[in-house]
Amino acid sequence: MKLYSYWRSGTSYRTRIALELKGIDYEIETVDLREGAHKQPAYLEQNRQGLVPTLVTDEGTSICQSPAIIEYLEEYKPSPALLPVLPEDRATVRAMAAVIGCDTHPLGNLRVLKYLKAEFGQDQAGINKWAATWMIPAFETLETLVLNNEHEGEFCFGDTPTIADCYLIPQLYSADRFEVDLSPYPKLLKVRQACEELKAFQRAHPDNQPDAD
């Protein structure tokens, strides 16, 4: 498979984690967002929205949108599973992912931050405040959800990584960039520590990408 990816993009990062956890062979095709490579005709043929990531499957099908890609990977290669077995448990894990994927990450997207600068004249302090406004309640929610689910373990849900961890780790990386204080979330930090010990998370890390600064 081939993944169109940008090293620092949170949605690329979460997709790389899922691919690595699944043990799927894939090559990275870098898309430099800073140089506008995502708006070039060749890339738009793969991804009409002009966003990363895009997964090109073995059969040459292009799949856009990281939530769709990650669910696809779970169906394509069910083991190791990134979702638990029971529907209610799967819903808990998917809800954790959506707290990040819907309510947090999209508000800190590059195109949104550009708008805040250009239209509302925001400087870095204003951007950091904006980012923290959406990250803090999400981390508070996740800290409680992780602590209070019946499957408390090393990871967000139980003792093996799930898609919730695929979403959480890149968001914590983003929090560091925007200088959000993570000390009120000791459980999330412990989850991060457990993830950092795994090769899959190490290999997917932005710093270990071919296009990293």
Nearer to its own copies, 30 or 109 (CB): 109
Nearer to its own copies, 40 or 208 (CB): 40
Nearer to its own copies, 63 or 169 (CB): 63
Helix/strand/coil percentages in the chain, nearest 5: 60, 5, 35
Smallest separation, CB 55 to its own copies (Å) = 9
User: What does the alpha-carbon distance between residue 184 and residue 188 come to, in Å, rounded to a whole number?
Assistant: 9
Q: Residue 3: beta bridge partners?
A: 28, 55
Strand, coil or helix: 101: helix
Chain residues that interact with its own copies, rule: CB under 8 A: 48-51, 57, 59, 61, 63-69, 71-72, 75-76, 87-88, 90-92, 94-95, 97-99, 101-103, 105-107, 109, 112, 115, 119-120, 122, 129-130, 133, 137-138, 141, 144-145
Nearer to its own copies, 40 or 133 (CB): 133
Q: From residue 60, how far is each of 54, 97, 113, 149, 181 by CA, in Å?
A: 12, 27, 33, 39, 42
Smallest separation, CB 80 to its own copies (Å) = 17
Decide: 200 and 155 in contact? Cβ < 8 Å.
Answer: no
Smallest separation, CB 35 to its own copies (Å) = 20
